[in-house]
Amino acid sequence: MNWSHWIRQSHRWLALAFTAGFIVNAFVAMRGAEAAFWVYLLVLVPLFLLLPTGLYLFVLPLAVRWRRRGEV
């Protein structure tokens, strides 16, 4: 398994974790009760991990084009 595949898979799983954390936060907010601080952090942890993987996946096609342009 190469690095691109591993990063793409981890980005997908982090996106699922972010979505689940967001849903938990929404239910806690709708309940109206004061939640523990860690419940709010459930969304931030995957979000901060999604940033570098998302940037890598964004730049990957550009890097392939830059490499091909340099070969010609």
pLDDT, tens only, 15-71: 999 999 899 888 887 887 777 777 778 889 899 999 999 999 999 999 888 888 876
Among 72, 52, 66, 68, CA closest to 3: 52
Q: What is the pTM of this model?
A: 0.77
Domain locations in the chain as residue ranges: 3-71
21: three-class secondary structure by DSSP: helix
The pLDDT value recorded for residue 40 is: 78
For the segment 4-20, the average pLDDT, to the nearest whole number, is 94
